[in-house]
Structure 1
């Protein structure tokens, strides 16, 4: 699928040079899971304003990180962890609910996060901090590797990024201090190794303390990323419903979706990226099944 953003002749020439040089300089190889298509290369070029040398440096660093993260590399992590079904998932979601859910009106997938229940000391009774971080890493990889391609296929055109919605209802300074380091690391990872993957970030139910919180977070963001952020108060439903059909928006955010037969919107993982999984499950059960993302664990990888 072609990019929906037209390139100038100069940008097309830089893209051609970039593609040739990353292969010639042994930065990229056919079959690399980072992606070798023009759309992936353009994400790195756009993140560096089509500066060829800076974009090469960025993708080289990303490749190094992908080979070394968590001591095993991103491909091994991705193969080990099914982000839609792993032991301890319900405990993680009680503390930091972070899930993919359907799509908004132009086809981009939603990534919804609720931080009100944040209690890392309680969470780490069930999984280690390292394992929790790995769920965040693999969620981001799943977005790039599975969710966006599936959304693009369903929409019939390239989907360039995700709409992230972060709900801060009930979130205060004490919880912010708990997740400060995780938030910074997560934002840094996204900007450095998954550039241009976030199309828009809507922060809803921002508390009165958010002005202070934002003063800490904003310096972590590039200017381009910060410009994609909309900070909303409690009167946000009309804004979200301009972007997302009510049938696709969880009721907790003012929509109509409950995913009642799939364990709730947060645990369902509802979206075209689940089609293959659901088809396989239906085949295995001869056409009679109930979707439950909280199925029995596939391994004991996440046990402490």
Structure 2
């Protein structure tokens, strides 16, 4: 039986173009508060677009002060680790090595136009992860300076998050064959997470790796995950789920579906067109983990390719507006053999209009006003999201005991099976 998310109030509610009066007031208040604290410039162009600000507001239950604190911490973290320099200069081969260990864009979108990613955890065996970590620490794959406390392996991971927010989501936002096209940008991702063929030992060995990545992503890339479909869960997954759900904020946990084999295709098809579901899960899409994206036909229709490109190349990319503002240019960045690249790949029509930013003098009445209930909920959410790693650490001994118990049960089952065969 599926453990399904509560999604009634999901996208596009709470997103640009679908804000309630109170949410719109809080967005205006957030801009003013950030500007007063030196973290936002109204422009034009604004230092940060509204869709980015809204991610932090949604993550903090629309409480301006809490959203400000998370935004401030993120801006400081980005500055200390030079995230923009990292993405612009990261070695393409290092980027692709990292991409092979994390969710990969299929080149397709769900029924709402949100990009669809696939993650098959069985490929993260101990040998592969160990090699990746050693390679990451052996050299700095970019020209970015770091704070010294965030491991290189995680900084390389966050280059993938930069790709999500600066390439895949903006591309999806410009496509017109989707819900709320032209007025509501895409700031989320839909993920199929395949945990089949993964042993309890492998889950345990990956715990620290996945925990640290999830905790930092929750803190610095809030509200970038939407529906997550977990497929192929083994019988012991309830124990693993007890670890995992502590690494994410409650809102993200509420959007996770754990599907039995019989539920996979019927559930996926409710949210994803059959032609965009990979064949191994009952759909029609030719896409396997490690493949390059199998591009949506609509993307191919609207793209005007340049410089010999007929597809998106490996490595980091992002979009910048043409001088006339009518089209967006895809730039391939990063570095190859030590030389930085900055190549035009294609252009697409710009369909999502620029949002007018208010001036810093904009008056907001009751800017910080929220209900006591919302404030209380936000406090609880903040504690769960930011301190998830500490909560897990407290219960590690208990979890280890569960692992031992399950391994013992495995051995007992194997012994019983052998006795049955012998009989």
Query: Following the alignment from structure 1 to structure 2, what is the Cα–Cα distance between the partners of residues 121 and 199?
Result: 31
Correspondence 1:140 to 2:149: no
- Written as runs of structure 1 = structure 2, the 5 A alignment for 1:99-138 is 99-101=104-106, 102-125=108-131, 127-128=135-136, 130-138=151-159
Aligned to 2:32: 20
Q: Describe the shift of the 1:79–1:270 C-alpha distance in structure 2 as closer, same or farther (beyond 3 A).
A: farther
Three-state SS of the structure 1 residue aligned to 2:223 is coil
Query: Following the alignment from structure 2 to structure 1, what is the Cα–Cα distance between the partners of residues 283 and 215?
Result: 31
Structure with the largest fraction of helix? 1
Aligned to 2:389: none
- Written as runs of structure 1 = structure 2, the 5 A alignment for 1:54-73 is 54-69=66-81, 73=82
Deviations, residues 147-193 of structure 1 (Å, cap 9, x unaligned) = 11111111424224111111001012121122212211222222211
Q: Describe the shift of the 1:197–1:90 C-alpha distance in structure 2 as closer, same or farther (beyond 3 A).
A: closer
Structure number with greater CO (CA < 8 Å, separation at least 6) is: 2
Correspondence 1:212 to 2:239: yes
Query: Following the alignment from structure 2 to structure 1, what is the Cα–Cα distance between the partners of residues 17 and 313?
Result: 38
Aligned length: 283
Equivalent of 1:247, from 275, 280, 284?
275
Q: Describe the shift of the 1:30–1:175 C-alpha distance in structure 2 as closer, same or farther (beyond 3 A).
A: farther
Whether the aligned pair in 2 keeps the contact of 1:103 and 1:244 (CA below 8 Å) is yes
Displacement of 1:215 in angstroms is 0.9
Three-state SS of the structure 2 residue aligned to 1:125 is helix
Equivalent of 1:299, from 336, 340, 350?
336
Query: Following the alignment from structure 2 to structure 1, what is the Cα–Cα distance between the partners of residues 163 and 47?
Result: 13
Greater gyration radius = 2
Q: Describe the shift of the 1:189–1:29 C-alpha distance in structure 2 as closer, same or farther (beyond 3 A).
A: farther
Whether the aligned pair in 2 keeps the contact of 1:250 and 1:265 (CA below 8 Å) is no
Query: Following the alignment from structure 2 to structure 1, what is the Cα–Cα distance between the partners of residues 70 and 95?
Result: 34
Query: Following the alignment from structure 2 to structure 1, what is the Cα–Cα distance between the partners of residues 269 and 42?
Result: 41
Whether the aligned pair in 2 keeps the contact of 1:92 and 1:123 (CA below 8 Å) is no
Correspondence 1:98 to 2:122: no
Equivalent of 1:267, from 281, 291, 297?
291
Displacement of 1:136 in angstroms is 1.9
Deviations, residues 256-299 of structure 1 (Å, cap 9, x unaligned) = 1115xxxx5643134479869x854xx433x8x687749xx952
Query: Following the alignment from structure 1 to structure 2, what is the Cα–Cα distance between the partners of residues 34 and 228?
Result: 31
Q: Describe the shift of the 1:254–1:36 C-alpha distance in structure 2 as closer, same or farther (beyond 3 A).
A: same
Query: Following the alignment from structure 2 to structure 1, what is the Cα–Cα distance between the partners of residues 50 and 213?
Result: 25
Name structure 2 gaps, 5 residues minimum.
1-11, 138-150, 316-333, 339-423
Displacement of 1:90 in angstroms is 5.7
TM-score, normalised by the number of residues in structure 1: 0.80
TM-score, normalised by the number of residues in structure 2: 0.59
Deviations, residues 210-247 of structure 1 (Å, cap 9, x unaligned) = 11101112222222121111111223122112211222
Query: Following the alignment from structure 2 to structure 1, what is the Cα–Cα distance between the partners of residues 47 and 274?
Result: 33
CA RMSD of aligned residues (A): 3.3
Whether the aligned pair in 2 keeps the contact of 1:14 and 1:50 (CA below 8 Å) is yes
Whether the aligned pair in 1 keeps the contact of 2:230 and 2:258 (CA below 8 Å) is yes
